[in-house]
Amino acid sequence: MNRRQLGTAPFDVSAIGLGCMGMSEFYGPTNDDESLEVLHAAADLGIDFFDTSDMYGSGHNEKLLAKFTSGSDLPVRIATKFGIVRQQSGGYARGLNNSKGYMKKACEASLRRLKRDVIDLYYVHRIDPQAPIEETTGALAELVEEGKILSFGYSEISSENLERACAVHPVAAVQSEYSLWTRDAEKSVLPCCEKHNVAFVAYSPLGRGMLTGAYKTPGELHQEDARHNLPRFHPENFSENVNLVSVVADISNRLDLKPAQVALAWLMSQKANIIPIPGTRHIQYLTENAEAASVKLDQQILDELDRAIPPGAARGERYTEEGFKGVQM
């Protein structure tokens, strides 16, 4: 497994990480035993960068990672997040809280669930407009000084706010959605990350599964799958988006690769500081994704993909109005 530096953090990580959200909710029924098998298989493949959040399964996901790492000397790096406050009754509705007091409590709670003394990378999950970015960054810097976290970052932050944050303290990473069909970060956030030596961690790098070619109709998604609520997966947009990304499957057939490997290789070719974190609950797909770290696409193929799926080509918004809370790009 190739490796990439995580910005200004005092460590590097596997060039491809593992997004763990789906092991707790959002993509249909989950099974902890199967998820633990996938986590251990990831470590065997050289993946040591695992992404979670305190809101995934309302703490369940962090506890699952604790089961994976407890009683082991596995050299893994854990990234978790705070800032989204879910309703006690469950559901998708959420509030935002980036205040110093809430941050401190959230960090301590994550440390307990993870059964760790320090968090490797601590993200602000969404940006609270009521909290000045300088104050939030200063509070995160205090957590570094206290030894609670090794580094910190922001999820879905604007380039303007990233500039302001970096003026207070080095930011290790920015996490945002980025893939062939979600290219908003290319406008200003990716250049800002390069300028300040900030790693860019790409979540949903496979277009929430659409770029894998696995789905042709919405009916193929489990009835409890949260993607049914996302505009790009609504029936009126689904077929057009399937047609849009069909070029990925065409190219993968020509190159004797999997569509996911083509999509991930395209992403990693864009900038050396990009670290994708595809999520999966299946060892087969995990293995295919890990192998993408060594796939190199020639410029002709990269140009073909750029022409076929230019920025803004996907039909429909990537989130609902509720999902866009705290998203700045």
Nearest alpha carbon to residue 87 among 55, 62, 111, 118: 55
In a domain, 21, yes or no: yes
In a domain, 263, yes or no: no
Q: How far apart are CA 8 and CA 2, in angstroms?
A: 18
In a domain, 323, yes or no: no
Quote the pTM value: 0.92
Active site residue 56: yes
> Residue 113: which domain range?
3-209+270-295
Tell me the pLDDT tens digit for each residue of 171-195. Answer: 999 999 999 999 999 999 999 999 9
* CATH code, domain carrying 201: 3.20.20.100
In a domain, 187, yes or no: yes
Tell me the pLDDT tens digit for each residue of 158-167. Answer: 999 999 999 9
What is the structure's pLDDT at 86?
78
In a domain, 309, yes or no: no
- Tell me how many domains the chain contains: 1
In a domain, 135, yes or no: yes
Residue 212 binned pLDDT confidence (cut-offs 50, 70, 90)? very high
- Annotated catalytic residue: which of 56, 122, 123, 203? 56
Query: Does the pLDDT at position 117 exceed 70?
Result: yes
DSSP tag of 186: G
In a domain, 139, yes or no: yes
How confident is the model over 282-305, as a mean pLDDT? 96
Tell me the pLDDT tens digit for each residue of 14-49. Answer: 999 999 999 998 887 889 999 999 999 999 999 999
In a domain, 302, yes or no: no
Q: How far apart are CA 285 and CA 290, in angstroms?
A: 9
Task: Give the Cβ contact number of residue 90 at 10 Å.
Answer: 9
* Dihedral of the alpha carbons of 253, 256, 257, 259, in degrees to the nearest 10: 0
